[in-house]
């Protein structure tokens, strides 16, 4: 970084001191982070840097290499605590689980789209109401269980005022139902251009 400051006069201006102080702190953090991830990869038996590539920030190293600043800071030797090692291991496992879950969901979507034949169903405008698109469903809906769950959640969230808030919600829903009973027309979603 010193060569960068020497080669660029504008960077030596005292008004940039706060920026360079923040930059130095960020670089120290980045070096410690990279060192910690390398140690974690080594402890997990992976000495191959390609396997630990997911822990590195390629866009940061690319930006630093463009500015010719990378590699001039000296790396400090510090030992990682067991808590940090455990944290990185949990993070790595969590990322792997999420990746596997996303892949499984993607496979499921592909299977479902193949079953449907990749054809989009045409929806007539009369089928769309204020409540949204009317879907045919064979699922049984237990309204009393939904109400009890809603009431319990409201008691947990709002405490003593739960009944008051639920009654206000019910009043709004009744107002909506009465307006909906008049069969309102949907507002066109075509932009007006005069």
Q: Which 8-state DSSP code applies to residue 51?
A: G
Task: Answer yes or no: are the C-beta atoms of 39 and 80 closer than 8 Å.
Answer: yes
- Contacts of 84 by beta carbon, 8 Å cutoff, 6+ apart: 36
pLDDT digit string, tens, across residues 165-180: 999 999 999 998 888 8
Q: Using the predicted structure, report yes or no on whether residue 135 has a pLDDT greater than 80.
A: no
Q: Where are the alpha helices (DSSP H) in the chain?
A: 2-7, 17-43, 58-66, 82-116, 143-158, 162-181
Sign of the dihedral defined by the CA atoms of residues 119, 125, 130, 136, in that order: negative
Cα distances (Å, whole numbers) of residue 168 to 70, 155, 165, 173, 181:
60, 14, 5, 9, 20
User: Which whole number is the average pLDDT over 104-133?
Assistant: 73
**Nearest partner of 188 among 127, 125, 142, judged by Cα:** 125
pLDDT one-digit tens code per residue, 93-105: 999 999 999 999 9
In the prediction, which pLDDT does 169 show?
Answer: 92
């Amino acid at each position: 970084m010193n060569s960068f400051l020497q080669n660029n006069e504008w960077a030596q201006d005292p008004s940039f001191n706060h920026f360079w102080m923040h930059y130095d702190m960020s670089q120290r953090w980045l070096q410690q982070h990279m060192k910690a991830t390398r140690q974690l990869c080594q402890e997990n038996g992976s000495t191959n840097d390609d396997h630990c590539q997911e822990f590195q920030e390629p866009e940061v190293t690319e930006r630093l290499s463009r500015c010719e600043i990378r590699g001039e800071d000296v790396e400090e030797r510090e030992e990682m605590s067991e808590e940090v090692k455990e944290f990185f291991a949990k993070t790595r496992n969590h990322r792997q689980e999420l990746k596997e879950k996303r892949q499984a969901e993607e496979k499921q979507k592909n299977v479902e789209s193949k079953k449907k034949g990749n054809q989009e169903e045409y929806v007539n405008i009369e089928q769309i109401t204020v409540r949204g698109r009317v879907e045919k469903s064979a699922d049984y809906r237990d309204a009393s269980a939904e109400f009890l769950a809603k009431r319990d959640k409201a008691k947990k969230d709002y405490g003593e005022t739960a009944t008051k808030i639920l009654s206000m919600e019910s009043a709004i829903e009744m107002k909506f139902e009465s307006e909906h009973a008049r069969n309102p027309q949907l507002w066109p979603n075509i932009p007006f251009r005069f």
